[in-house]
């Protein structure tokens, strides 16, 4: 007994299961095997007997028809009829005695397999359902019984070759034709057959799977066609009652033993297994510390598990936090790098290329200005692309909504045409034009103008990319019934194969082939375009033919801008105020960004100080009361821009602070303004914007001082 107490939980459970189960299974198996053997033997005997009975009965049911067709088909006058096709003879000797054949159909065919004459009961509407190929087989076999499925149901067909009376065995002469009798296997047929066999008969499909039923014996009889392939199946079903007196006694013993075994098993399982496992479940679901303490008090392995739970409880929380951060970081990094790699190359190429050209000392002034303009525009494009890619990631995460506003669509189309036309390479013989639309938009529409422009630019750029000569055209039309705008971008380029049309809008997919080997890109442009279209509530499609070109079309809802815009006088930016020699602090950890902002500010004759981190900015503002303005970078070491700003406001609440940051989303700008910054500018810096801010700040300061 002492040894039993000191056994671990698994050993106790194993001992209990073995001791009770051996006794239980010895009794149950012996009784069960005896019952099953007797039941199986009786059922098998009954089934075999029933199967033989059904087959014999079905053969007997067909013997009369078989004998009839054998008698009819060695008949001299019938042989003569196959040659003369005398309808009067047929009506007198066949049609008039049709009912005596006990058939629903009689047909006489010539050796050419064409029907000579036929007779059918009202049950059969089909005209000629005897397979022609079957007659070739019947020519050799002389007699055939088979089944055919017709619209009216399944028919049993008896076919035989026609011979003269002196050839009853049909082996002396060649056939003169074919004679067919058929009867429909309908409800009366099944009822009659069921009464004879004391069975319930049903017609089912040939692939019907027969399921065993305890109270019935079921036999299936395949109905085969002339090819020996099953077309249907007859199910014969007869009640089967198996009732042994010993079975009840056996079941009573089994139930009694089972109840005793279950009671013992449940009692000790609850005590040794259920209660500890319940505590473990509670711990896993809720991390309840009281459950951990209760589990620790258990004996054996469960007490050890309780100690492990206590040790790992805090680690689990830290791991979950770390895992979440790692997943978020990995997702953002993968998405950003993949998108950026594709879209960044074109503007970067222009910036680096024209920057290299500027190093030429012999460059003319007009060319230098032109190159500088291109570099600036490409830089703006690069910033726009990066912002769009970030916005695309936010769209994927459903963190952004379209910025709807009213604008003039006609003006937008014209501006796009003018700006895109000059970007088409000179070496491409392309006619670029706007598709004429007689029903032009009257008034402003409501949608996201920036996204719409980006969609059109992406599709036109894609069309130009794959077109060396011919045309590229774009335009729109109005569908007033569906209240949508449909835009089309057509080209006469290389076209797209049907295989690529299925995946053209998928990410990282691009057209591969001889004509596109030299084209770069990772295949993000069209997927981004599709995302923008769906964001605006539309859909995009493409049609293309190899060698002839492609047509991209997309739709957006047609919504009118009902806003009445008040005419506001233009604000004239004035830089005439001479606010000079002001001391300005620039908090910027990046040397290049600091140098750029310093040069811009110094061009207005101001003094510039620098702080390389947030803590340094706080210190300089504390020690230098002559500082009139602070440009505060948001992302800096030690203290970020928000933290540094909070400390400066405590020390010098009147000091104006302008945020400068690479965070350019609407949400980020709102956060900065709500935090108390006087204003904010985004990188890359715009010189005119900086000048405007300087004038505005110092004019406001002057007003405050005058007051």
pLDDT band of residue 384 (cuts 50, 70, 90) is low
In this predicted structure, the answer to whether residue 444 has a pLDDT above a threshold of 70 is yes
Say how far residue 274 (Cα) sits from the centre of its chain.
43
Nearest to 374 by CA among 353, 393, 359: 353
Which range has the worst mean pLDDT, 243-247, 305-309, 611-615? 243-247
Torsion of CA 180, 186, 189, 194, to 10 degrees: 140
Taking domain 302-399, whether its CATH number is 1.10.287.130 is answered by yes
Q: What tens digit of pLDDT does each residue of 541-562 get?
A: 999 988 899 999 999 999 888 7
Give the pLDDT of residue 556. Answer: 93
pLDDT band of residue 692 (cuts 50, 70, 90) is confident
Give the pLDDT of residue 473. Answer: 95
Share above pLDDT 90 across residues of the chain, in percent, rounded to a whole number: 28
Instruction: Name the residue with tokens 């997943």.
Output: 327
Give the pLDDT of residue 2. Answer: 56
In this predicted structure, the answer to whether residue 427 has a pLDDT above a threshold of 70 is yes
The whole-angstrom separation of Cα 247 and Cα 26 is: 17
- Architecture of the domain spanning 43-239: 2-Layer Sandwich (3.30)
Q: What tens digit of pLDDT does each residue of 638-657 get?
A: 999 999 999 999 999 999 99
Q: What tens digit of pLDDT does each residue of 451-496 get?
A: 899 899 989 988 998 898 999 999 999 998 889 999 999 999 888 8
Give the pLDDT of residue 615. Answer: 94
Largest CA distance in the chain: 141
Residue 530 or 320, more confident: 530
Domain ranges of the chain: 43-239, 302-399, 402-557, 583-706
Mean pLDDT of 587-599: 89
**CATH for 583-706, among 3.30.420.10, 3.40.190.10, 3.40.50.2300, 3.40.50.620?**
3.40.50.2300
Arithmetic mean of pLDDT over the chain: 82
The whole-angstrom separation of Cα 631 and Cα 597 is: 9
Mean pLDDT of 16-28: 76
Residue 581 or 87, more confident: 87
Mean pLDDT of 522-531: 72
**pTM, to two decimals:** 0.39
- Architecture of the domain spanning 402-557: 2-Layer Sandwich (3.30)
3-state class of 503 per DSSP?
coil
Instruction: Name the residue with tokens 């310093």.
Output: 598
Say how far residue 173 (Cα) sits from the centre of its chain.
70
Share above pLDDT 70 across residues of the chain, in percent, rounded to a whole number: 85
In this predicted structure, the answer to whether residue 598 has a pLDDT above a threshold of 50 is yes
Give the pLDDT of residue 522. Answer: 42
In the beta sheet, which residues pair with residue 469? 429
pLDDT band of residue 610 (cuts 50, 70, 90) is very high
Give the pLDDT of residue 515. Answer: 46
């Amino acid at each position: 007994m002492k040894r039993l107490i000191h056994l671990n939980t698994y050993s106790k459970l194993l001992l209990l299961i073995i001791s009770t189960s051996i006794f239980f299974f010895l009794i149950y198996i012996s009784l069960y095997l005896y019952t099953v053997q007797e039941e199986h033997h009786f059922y098998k005997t009954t089934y075999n007997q029933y199967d033989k009975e059904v087959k014999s009965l079905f053969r007997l049911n067909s013997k009369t028809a078989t004998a009839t067709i054998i008698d009819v088909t060695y008949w001299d006058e019938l042989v003569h009829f196959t040659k003369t096709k005398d309808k009067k003879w047929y009506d007198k000797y066949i049609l008039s005695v049709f009912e005596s054949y006990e058939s629903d159909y009689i047909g006489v065919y010539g050796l050419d397999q064409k029907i000579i004459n036929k007779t059918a009961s009202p049950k059969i509407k089909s005209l000629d359902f005897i397979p022609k190929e079957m007659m070739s087989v019947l020519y050799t076999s002389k007699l055939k019984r088979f089944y055919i499925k017709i619209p009216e149901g399944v028919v049993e067909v008896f076919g035989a070759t026609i011979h003269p009376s002196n050839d009853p065995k049909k082996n002396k002469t060649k056939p003169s034709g074919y004679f067919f009798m058929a009867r429909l296997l309908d409800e009366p047929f099944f009822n009659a057959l069921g009464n004879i066999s004391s069975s319930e008969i049903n017609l089912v499909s040939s692939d019907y799977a027969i399921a065993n039923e305890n109270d019935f014996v079921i036999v299936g009889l395949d109905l085969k066609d002339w090819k020996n392939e099953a077309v249907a199946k007859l199910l014969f079903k007869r009640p089967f009652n198996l009732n042994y007196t010993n079975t009840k006694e056996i079941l009573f013993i089994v139930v009694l033993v089972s109840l005793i075994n279950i009671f013992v098993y449940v009692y000790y399982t609850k005590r040794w297994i259920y209660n500890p496992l319940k505590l473990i479940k509670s711990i896993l679901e809720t991390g309840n510390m009281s459950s951990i303490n209760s589990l620790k008090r258990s004996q054996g392995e469960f007490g050890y598990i309780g100690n492990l739970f206590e040790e790992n409880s805090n680690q689990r929380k830290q791991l979950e936090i770390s895992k979440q951060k790692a997943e978020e970081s990995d997702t953002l990094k993968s998405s950003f790098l993949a998108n950026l790699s594709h879209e960044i190359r074109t503007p970067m190429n222009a910036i680096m290329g024209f920057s290299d050209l500027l190093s030429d000392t012999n460059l003319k002034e007009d060319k230098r200005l032109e190159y500088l303009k291109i570099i600036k525009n490409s830089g703006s494009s690069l910033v726009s692309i990066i912002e769009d890619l970030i916005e695309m990631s936010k769209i994927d995460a459903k963190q952004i909504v379209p910025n709807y506003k009213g604008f003039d669509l006609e003006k937008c189309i014209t501006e796009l045409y003018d700006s895109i036309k000059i970007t088409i390479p000179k070496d491409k013989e392309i006619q670029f034009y706007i598709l004429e639309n007689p029903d032009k938009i009257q008034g402003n529409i409501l949608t996201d103008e920036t996204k719409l422009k980006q969609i059109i630019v992406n599709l036109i750029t894609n069309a130009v990319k794959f077109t060396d000569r011919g045309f590229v055209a774009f335009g729109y039309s109005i569908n007033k019934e569906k209240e949508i705008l449909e835009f089309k971008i057509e080209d006469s380029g290389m076209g797209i194969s049907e295989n690529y049309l299925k995946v053209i809008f998928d990410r990282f997919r691009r057209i591969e082939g001889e004509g596109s080997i030299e084209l770069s890109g990772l295949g993000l442009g069209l997927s981004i375009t599709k995302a923008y279209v769906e964001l605006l509530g539309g859909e995009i499609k493409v049609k293309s033919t190899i060698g002839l070109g492609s047509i991209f079309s997309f739709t957006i809802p047609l919504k009118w801008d009902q806003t009445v815009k008040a005419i506001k006088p233009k604000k004239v930016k004035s830089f005439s105020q001479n606010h000079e020699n002001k001391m300005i602090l620039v908090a910027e950890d990046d040397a290049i960004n600091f140098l750029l902002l310093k040069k811009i500010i110094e061009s207005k004759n101001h003094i510039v100080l620098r702080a390389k981190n947030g803590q340094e900015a706080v210190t300089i503002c504390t020690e230098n009361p002559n500082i009139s303005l602070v440009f505060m970078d948001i992302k800096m070491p030690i203290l970020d821009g928000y933290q540094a700003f909070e400390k400066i406001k405590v020390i010098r609440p009147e000091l104006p602070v302008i945020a400068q940051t690479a965070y350019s989303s609407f949400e980020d700008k709102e956060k900065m303004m709500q935090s108390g910054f006087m204003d904010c500018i985004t990188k890359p810096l715009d010189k005119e914007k900086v000048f405007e801010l300087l004038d505005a700040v110092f004019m406001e300061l002057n007003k405050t001082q005058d007051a």
